[in-house]
């Protein structure tokens, strides 16, 4: 394995681990109801964003690269009327991140540039899709920060 390949694998697996830790950190102090309810009349709940991220990773990386057989139900990620417990949702997310990290480690130098296709993306190769999914996580982590801050504001506590 070349130095560049080692660096690439380390950077990507570390980014996914850091993103997952941030989601866990933000979710930790939220009650079950705060996790699943929306503090605004618009947007998504924190919990539904967690389900969405897990679905995103399981489809774009799991089903399309790792060939896990995952079948995505994207609308349910946002409107499941009977969502799992907070801990079950976070475990599902953690499992998705672990699968992504394993998939990254399993890529050969040739695998990174293999053609990629998946519904809803213009990614041309595996590396592009793996980077896009990490960026997608960052986007939703920003929303999670905002949701947590609003719950703190409503409770009259510091938003940190």
pLDDT of residue 140: 98
Return the CATH number at 132. 1.20.120.450
Q: How many independent structural domains does the chain possess?
A: 1
The verdict on residue 75 lying in a domain is yes
The verdict on residue 160 lying in a domain is no
Tell me whether residue 111 is exposed, middle or buried, using C-beta atoms within 10 angstroms of its C-beta: 0 to 12, 13 to 18, 19 or more: middle
Tens of pLDDT, residues 39-96 = 999 999 999 999 999 999 999 999 999 999 999 999 899 988 889 999 999 999 999 9
The verdict on residue 93 lying in a domain is yes
Q: Is pLDDT above 90 for 157? A: no
* 158 — pLDDT class (breaks 50, 70, 90): low
Q: What size, in residues, is the chain?
A: 160
The verdict on residue 1 lying in a domain is no
C-alpha dihedral over 41, 47, 53, 58, to 10 degrees?
-130
pLDDT of residue 160: 52
SS3 84: coil
Tens of pLDDT, residues 98-139 = 999 999 999 999 999 999 999 999 999 999 999 999 999 999
The verdict on residue 73 lying in a domain is yes
Domain hosting 26: range is 10-155
């Amino acid at each position: 394995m070349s130095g560049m390949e080692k660096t690439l694998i380390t950077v990507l697996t570390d980014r996914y681990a850091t993103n997952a830790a941030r989601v866990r950190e933000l979710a930790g102090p939220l009650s079950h109801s705060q996790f699943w309810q929306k503090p605004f009349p618009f947007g998504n709940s924190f919990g539904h964003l967690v389900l969405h991220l897990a679905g995103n990773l399981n489809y774009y990386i799991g089903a399309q690269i790792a060939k896990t057989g995952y079948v995505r139900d994207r609308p349910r990620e946002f409107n499941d009327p009977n969502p799992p417990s907070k801990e079950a949702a976070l475990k599902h997310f953690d499992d998705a991140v672990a699968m992504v990290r394993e998939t990254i480690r399993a890529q050969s130098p040739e695998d990174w540039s293999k053609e990629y296709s998946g519904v809803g993306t213009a990614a041309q190769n595996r590396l592009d899709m793996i980077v896009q999914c990490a960026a997608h996580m960052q986007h939703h982590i920003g929303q999670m920060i905002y949701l947590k801050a609003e719950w703190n504001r409503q409770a009259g506590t510091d938003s940190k």
